[in-house]
Amino acid sequence: MNKLKKCCVRNRRHIVIISCMILAIILASFYLWQRKISVDLNRVHFQSFNGTQELTVGDIHASASMSQDFSFAGEFKGISIRFDKNNASDVGFVDVSVYDTSHDVLVHRETISSEDVVAGLYHEINFQQAYGFDTDTKYNVVVSSELISPDNAISIWCSNSDVYPGGSLYIAGTKTDGDMNFGVITSGIHEITIAYLVVISILGISLVMLYLIVYVFRAKVHVVFLAVAIPFGLVYSLIMSPGVVPDELAHMDMAYRYSNQIMGINNAHDPAIFYRLTDVENWIVTSQPGAEHYQKLLDTPVWATEGTENKALIAAKTANAHALLYAPSAIGVTFARIIHLGTIPMFYLGRMCNFIIFLLGVYFAIKIAPVGKNIFFASALLPMTMHQAFSFSYDSVMTGGLFFLIALFLRAIYGQECFRLRDKLIIILLCTFFLPGKAIYIFVAAVAFLIPSNKFGGMRQKITFLGGLFLVTGIAYMFVNLNSIATLTTGALPPQHVDRAYDFAYLLEHPFQTVKIFAITLVHNSSYYVKTLVGERLGWLEIYIPTVLVLFSIVITGVAFLHDTWDKLLLRSGMVWHRVVYVSIFALVVLAAMFTMMFAYTRFGSEIIDGVQGRYFIPVLPLLGLVVYCRYIKIDKGILKHLYMAEGVLHFAVLFFLI
pLDDT (0 to 100) of residue 149:
58
Compare 496 and 422 and report the one with higher pLDDT: 422
Q: Is 299 exposed, middle or buried (0-12, 13-18, 19+ CB in 10 A)?
A: middle
3-class DSSP assignment, residue 545: coil
- The pLDDT tens digits for 361-419 are 999 999 999 999 999 999 999 999 999 999 999 999 999 999 999 999 999 999 887 88
Confidence at residue 57, expressed as pLDDT on a 0 to 100 scale: 41
> What is the predicted pLDDT for the residue at 601?
84
How far apart, in Å, are the Cα atoms of 359 and each of 31, 73, 399? 33, 42, 10
Predicted local distance difference test score (pLDDT) of residue 239: 92
Alpha-carbon distance of 614 to 229, in angstroms, equals: 21
Task: List the one residue out of 45, 65, 87 whose CA is nearest residue 156.
Answer: 65
Higher pLDDT, 526 or 66: 526
Q: How many CB atoms sit inside 10 A of residue 23's CB?
A: 10
The predicted structure's pLDDT at residue 194? 80
Q: Distance from CA of residue 404 to its chain's centroid?
A: 23
Instruction: Check residue 406 and give its pLDDT.
Output: 97
- Which CATH number is 51-186 given? 2.60.120.380
Q: Which of 20-29, 80-89, 139-148 has the lowest mean pLDDT?
A: 80-89
As a whole-number percent, the residues of the chain with pLDDT over 90 amount to: 46
Confidence of residue 52 (pLDDT cuts 50, 70, 90): very low
The mean of the pLDDT values for the chain is 85
Nearest CA among 65, 48, 42, 45 for reference residue 130: 42
- Write the CB contacts of 523 (distance below 8 Å, at least 6 apart in sequence): none
Alpha-carbon distance 370 to 360, whole Å? 18
Q: Could you count the other beta carbons within 10 Å of the beta carbon of residue 44? A: 21
Q: Strands of 301-364 (E only): list them.
A: 310-315
- Give long-range contacts, CB 8 A cutoff, 24+ apart: 29-35: 29/200, 29/204, 32/200, 32/656, 32/659, 33/196, 33/200
For residue range 307-339, list pLDDT tens digits in order: 777 777 776 666 666 788 999 999 999 999 999
Is 289 within 8 Å of 240 (Cβ atoms)?
Answer: yes
Chain center to CA of 178: 34
pLDDT at 120 over 80: no
Q: Which helix (H) or strand (E) holds 31?
A: helix 12-32
467 Cβ contact partners less than 8 Å away, ≥ 6 residues apart: none
Q: SS3 letters for 375-406?
A: HHHHHHCCHHHHHHHCCCCHHHHHHHHHHHHH
Q: What angle do CA 569, 573, 575 make, to 5 degrees?
A: 60
pLDDT higher than 70, residue 2? no
Q: Which of 56-65, 201-210, 604-613 is predicted least confidently?
A: 56-65
Q: Which helix (H) or strand (E) holds 368?
A: helix 343-368
Give the sign of the dihedral formed by CA 366, CA 369, CA 373, CA 379: negative
Angle at 127 between CA 123 and CA 128, to 5 degrees: 135
DSSP at 37: I
